[in-house]
Chain A
């Protein structure tokens, strides 16, 4: 994207209000993390069940469907807050390689969801009837874990990168 366009995006009223308020940005960031913890926890348990590691005595459908509403709540929270955070400082974030990595992983996560949604996550009754968990479901779960761990890590590393990193970032500047 041309820098002028990125700057223009960031100059929008709402984005400026978020960026310049001493309290709003940290509050949205905290909500982003709350959503992440909720969503991440639900994803982790869903995937561990599909891999046959956690809650194996309960049917797949029960675990996956029982956690789904909370997974969706966490996703909504994390995406909404993430979008606001990114928008409010897009001119700062846009050149950041970890931010770009995170966007890339976000794209892969979306593709993952489209590919496996029908055959795995919305097909839990079928998985219940199968004597062993099919390879496709295990693959979906393993890929999901790798992608989300990568995404969370990339997100955390955004805060440690500085343009033209001549001097090592000191922890005081990191937030």
Chain B
């Protein structure tokens, strides 16, 4: 299945944007720094919601209210990460194509994004009284696991 995406990587390897980024020494580090700062913003917002849903921290705020307060940071953090992440990818697409860390990251990233805007959103917006405690824990742990997996995959790209 992975091989059938080869054309996509080959095309991305040749974009003017990718060429421009890989053509300088400073662009990649600068973009990666923004990528990591956005990670902190997104992950921070998600972790605060997850912990609250498991019954830790900020207990005076209802989950739904906290989630609505923090969603802009989560969403904008994620959009920044996707934009900068794509830039990094297109500057070294063929390297990513053969990188197991990258494959793992993509395999976890897409489910994580879908999960974040469907199940996570639905459960966090739900009335706490009507939500089973176990469901909250499951969703929080799943969210932490998925994003942790994305992070590990990302970090592994530089090592494998």
Contacts and interface: CB of A to CB of B under 8 A. Distances in A.
Given A171-B28, A171-B95, A66 B37 contact: no
Interface in B22-72: 22, 25, 28-29, 32-33, 36-37, 39-41, 43-45, 47-48, 51, 56-61, 66, 69-70
A40 B44 contact: yes
Interface stretch (A41-49, A108-116, A133-141): A41-49
Contact of A169 (B25, B33, B39): B25
B33 A153 contact: yes
Contacts of A169: 25
Interface string A138-175: 00000000000100110011011000000011011011
A57 B45 CA distance: 17
Contact of A34 (B91, B92, B148): B148
B57 A69 contact: yes
B59 A38 contact: no
Contacts of B70: 45, 54-55
A55 B49 CA distance: 13
A129 interface: no
B104 interface: no
Chain A contact patch, size range: 35 or more
Contact of B47 (A70, A159, A171, A175): A70
B159 to A, nearest CB: 5
Interface in B114-160: 148, 151-152, 155-156, 158-159
A28 to B, nearest CB: 11
B9 interface: no
B45 A41 contact: yes
A44 B74 CA distance: 12
A30 B152 CA distance: 6
A62 B92 contact: no
Question: Which interface residue of A29, A36, A70 has the most chain B CB atoms within 10 A?
Answer: A70
B97 interface: no
Interface in A69-116: 69-70
A171 B96 CA distance: 11
Interface of B: 22, 25, 28-29, 32-33, 36-37, 39-41, 43-45, 47-48, 51, 56-61, 66, 69-70, 73, 91-92, 95, 148, 151-152, 155-156, 158-159
A118 interface: no
Nearest to A168: B25
A131 B102 CA distance: 50
A38 B44 contact: yes
Nearest to B40: A40
B41 A41 contact: yes
A41 B33 contact: no
A81 to B, nearest CB: 12
A33 interface: yes
